[in-house]
Amino acid sequence: MRGWRNAVQETAASKPLFLTIYATVILGTVVSSFYVFSAIYSPTASPTRSISSSWLLAPPLSQNGVSLSSNISQPSQHRSNKLRPIWEAPSRTSKMPRLKSFRLTKELVAQRAKDNVIIVTFGNFAFMDFILTWVKHLTDLGVSNLLVGAMDTKLLKALYWKGIPVFDMGSHISTDDVGWGSPIFHKMGRQKVLLINAILPFGFELLMCDTDMVWLKNPLPYLARYPDADILTSSDQVVPTVVDDRLADWKQVGAAYNIGIFHWRPTPPAKKLAKEWIDMLLADDRIWDQNGFNELVRRQTGPAFDDESGIFYSYDGNLKLGILPESIFCSGHTYFVQALHQQFRLQPYALHTTFQYAGTEGKRHRLREAMVFFDPPEYYDAPGGFLSFRPSISKSLLLDGEHNLESHFSLINYQMRQIRSALALASVLNRTLVMPPLWCRLDRLWFPHPGALLGSMTRQPFLCPLDHVFEVNVMLRDLPAEEFGPAINIREYSFLNNPFLPQRVRESWLDVQLCQEGTEDCHASSNTSRPGLLRFPKRSSEETLKKVFSSFKDVKVIQFSSMQDAFLGFTDKTREEKFRKRVKQYVGIWCCVENHIPGHIYYDMYWDEKPGWKPVPPKTPEDDHPPF
């Protein structure tokens, strides 16, 4: 049998993952005493033996045809019993160990685990800032039993030199943002399931997380309250099923179980599910990993495991499953739209950036809005300084009448006109615009709805994420200046309240109070009426703005009292056309009207230039295009 095993190991070392798995299957059929997939699934695997999978058996990667192993040191034969604290970087005079020393082994997991629990996320270099944020939140909470899987060598090296516990997944994934729903995105999903199958046989509990979520409270004591559960999973449930911190009422959860946050125990039912799950995905690459999980787990739902815990039987009738409460293990909807944790007076454990509309940039911006994303110091002190303004919204626009399309678009358009002026002013003064808080009267989704999801606790109006109206990914994109004019950088509405904002920025501040020219102390000059306050005429020209505010080029923050009549317009018509072309692309759609195809309605940055403009969906397919 040893000869068969050696043959399979040699094949696995030189072939892709699929051959490794199916060669092992053949071995299992020939030698009945040997458990199928032993290298991946066996609970009796050797403590120091690497897992038989692609990221463990891949040879050192190369760049431009040159092996990386040529200039890195040999790995030590034994790991030190004393772990370096997370964030304590290796000495820069030392050499980076060889890639094979970063293989995932039971020994590595044992070194990092605490109380037999390991917390894992993984990603490629494009998500490094998300990963650093994820790690920082956990370490700030006093949690250090974590590991990060690197899907490319660039990320592995970067994390190693930052002192982050990292292992090599050998996935050979692109270092770029792969985009939701792309083939590489689905490949990454399969890597998650392979990883679960790899770690469970080691005998550790596994808290598996996506990188686009953050921990706001140590979840381990909560998970330990339910020791009988084989799996505890988050969900996309938006209608609350409980009002306290109990597990969600599984009988009321109709939404998908979300695999961005779930906790696995190394029990036979959990291992059986993990194996069938990966078999399903490898057999059909069209299946999305989350859909596959839901299909398997929902084969059977119920009965309840007991009368108190909220755990129930699922999958094959033996797996004990619990659903984490939607109000404190938050989705993008329950956190940003409904704010269930605030309404129930609960402290959230987790925030997962689902239910958003601008890709990776939208996720990042939402976390910044919540002030839970960790940016480098230069983010808080941009060249040229910042521009902000106090938005003006009347009570009637917010509260009067029904919450319908007309009242929603009236509110949004009123704010949009002010933001349009602020973008122009930021462009003229070459400053980064701090976006204002944005208020909505209707929710945004991917499907027809009456304005707010039935059964949800969405308050109307509500402070809505910027990506509900604006195409954040486009606003942050590097559009060519020759076609769209100079770039206009933005910051989130909460930026000036962020505790990471340096004191030197907070203390360098000029308030600009717009006034009617000719009234007391209202002149187009740089003379302040008192320190830190400038009264400045409304409807000033581009030349006047540039001349006066050039005297304040060293002031970090300039805040206008209003954007109503703040800017007369561009003098250079060519620049104005480029600006218009740029900002027309900044707005997105509202979705969606019921009983109408298509049901979405385009926002229009220059709605006020079109007499009789109404918020209506396209009447024909030919009309279905943005207003630019």
Q: Which residues pair with 120 in a beta bridge?
A: 147, 208
Q: Are 56 and 170 in contact (CB under 8 A)?
A: yes
The reported pLDDT for the residue numbered 523 is 87
Domain assignments of the chain as residue spans, ordered by start:
356-623
Residue from 561, 565, 560 nearest 517 by CA = 565
DSSP-assigned letter for residue 95? P
The reported pLDDT for the residue numbered 449 is 96
pLDDT averaged per 10 residues in sequence order, the chain, 628 residues: 34 36 35 32 33 32 29 34 86 92 97 98 96 98 98 96 96 65 66 96 98 98 98 98 98 97 98 97 92 97 97 97 98 98 98 96 98 97 97 96 97 98 97 98 96 96 98 96 97 98 97 92 84 93 94 97 94 96 98 94 97 93 89
Residue from 444, 448, 469, 447 nearest 458 by CA = 444
The reported pLDDT for the residue numbered 626 is 92
How far apart CA 213 and CA 222 sit, in angstroms, is 17
Q: Which residues pair with 235 in a beta bridge?
A: 257
The reported pLDDT for the residue numbered 534 is 94
Q: Which residues of 373-397 are buried (b: 16+ CB within 10 A; e: fewer)?
A: bbbeeebbeeeebbbbbebeeeeeb
Per the listing, tokens 């990221």 go with 55
Q: Are 57 and 13 in contact (CB under 8 A)?
A: yes
How far apart CA 33 and CA 56 sit, in angstroms, is 25
Local structure of 455: helix, strand or coil: coil
Local structure of 547: helix, strand or coil: helix
pTM score: 0.85
Question: Which tokens sit at 591?
Answer: 């979705």
How many other C-beta atoms lie within 10 A of the C-beta of residue 249?
15
